[in-house]
Structure 1
Amino acid sequence: MNPLSVLRDSLYFFRRHLPGIVPLCLPLVILEALVAQLLYRQMGEQALTTYGMPLGMLVSLLFYPLYSAALILYLDTRSNGQAVPKRDLFARALQLWPQLALLVLISSLLIMAGLALFIFPGVWIMINLVFAEYLLVLRGLPVVQSMRESARMTTGHFMRIMICVLAVLAPIWLIDGLLMMAIPEPTPAMELAMDSFSGFLQLFSTVVLYRLFMLMEGEAGA
């Protein structure tokens, strides 16, 4: 499993299926950014400093499980040559929302706890849990079992997964930084566009991790 080939195959899939991914995920990504922006603007500067991160997590828990599950289901159906209507993908994603939201909440709290202690424990936890969402959405495993199985699947593959994750996130962080430098005081509309653009780009990591998940599951079953 070569990280370069994983990234290349994932980029090809992402570009090829962009016309399907955009209407599936972008509206919810924009809505998520809009709700977060409106809530932040209702808070004072001091309250934002204190409650900004928990509030952002709550907004993310409302929207992220929906478009993440829909995208994972889309990736799986398209990879198997199936063309499932978007309404059916969203209907299934809505059914999975409670479990997936709980999984995302637990995973986020564990990662933040690890980062608060030292950087590496948080990164280690994040890598160990990268396949939990796929196991829950595609294999129907319960929350805790998904986390355990993800940790088992990632054992011995830490560096390869880490390289793939960084190869996706580093350019996005760079783009975010450049945009903030170029537009230090964006208008509300520009801020919404920037946040939505960044959120949509991060969906590429879902495609990359899906590719890794399928490869590792195939290796385990071989």
Structure 2
Amino acid sequence: MNPLSVLRDSLYFFRRNLVSIVQLCLPLVVLESVCKQLVDQATGTEASPAYDVLVGLLFYPLYTAALILFLDARSQGREPQKRDLLAMALRLWPTFALLAAMSTLLIMLGISMFVLPGMWVMIKLVFAEYLLVLRGLTPLAAMRESFELSQGHFWRILACILAVLAPLWLLDGLSLMVYPQPQSPALSLLLDSINSFLQLFTSVVLFRLFMLVAEPVPGNPAQ
């Protein structure tokens, strides 16, 4: 499981299906950014980051579950209807939101213990979302199974995640240099939406890793 091969295959898939992913996820990503702006305006600049986390828990499970279902369908050569994917994502929202909340709390707890424990927890939980959406596991069972599946693959997973996030962090930093705070609401919305959408590539990479690490499923080749 070469990280470069995983990234190459994921980038090929992302580019090949970019239009479908944009149509499926971008409206929800933009709506999430709008809601975050409204919350920030209502609570002020010194408000707790917990407000953004709560807004994320409303939207992140929807577009991420829809994307995972799309990735699974396309990997099997199927062309799913976007409304069907969103309907299934909506049904999964309660358990997915619970999983996201539990994972966020564990990661934040780990980060409070000098960062490295938080990163370790994050890596160990990378497959939990796929196990919940694709195998129907409960949040706790998905987290436990993810810990087992990620065993022996820590550095490969970390390398793939950093290879995706590092350029996005750099792009975010450059955008702040070119367009420093305070930004206009429209510009802030645009930059936040673009950054959040590009982060979805991480889900594509982790899905590819999940396919390689999990037990092979007949008729589930990478496209």
**Match of 1:199?**
196
Q: State the 1:219 CA deviation.
A: 6.7
Partners of 2:16 and 2:79 lie apart in 1 by 14
**Residue 112 of structure 1 pairs with residue 108 of structure 2:** yes
Q: 1:54-76 deviations in whole A, cap 9, x for unaligned? A: 00000000000000000000000
Partners of 1:44 and 1:75 lie apart in 2 by 38
Partners of 2:36 and 2:96 lie apart in 1 by 20
Question: 3-state DSSP class of the match of 1:141?
Answer: coil
**Match of 1:31?**
31
| Structure 1 residue runs without a partner (length 5+) | none
Q: State the 1:44 CA deviation.
A: 2.8
Partners of 1:83 and 1:19 lie apart in 2 by 13
**Match of 1:132?**
128
Partners of 1:15 and 1:132 lie apart in 2 by 25
Q: State the 1:220 CA deviation.
A: 11
Provide the aligned C-alpha RMSD in A: 1.3
Partners of 2:16 and 2:183 lie apart in 1 by 32
Q: Which amino acid aligns with 1:22?
A: V
Q: State the 1:84 CA deviation.
A: 1.2
Farther-moved stretch of structure 1 (34-43 vs 61-70): 34-43
**Match of 1:72?**
68
**Match of 1:16?**
16
Q: How does the TM-score come out when normalised to structure 2?
A: 0.95
Q: Which amino acid aligns with 1:33?
A: S
**Matched length:** 217
Q: State the 1:186 CA deviation.
A: 1.9
**Match of 1:123?**
119
Percent identity at matched positions?
59
**Match of 2:221?**
none
Q: State the 1:45 CA deviation.
A: 3.4
Task: Write 1 or 2 for the structure with the bigger share of helix.
Answer: 1
Q: State the 1:218 CA deviation.
A: 3.7
Q: Give the ranges of 4+ consecutive aligned residues of structure 1 lying more than 4 Å apart after TM superposition.
A: none
Question: 3-state DSSP class of the match of 1:156?
Answer: coil
Q: State the 1:41 CA deviation.
A: 0.9
Q: How does the TM-score come out when normalised to structure 1?
A: 0.96
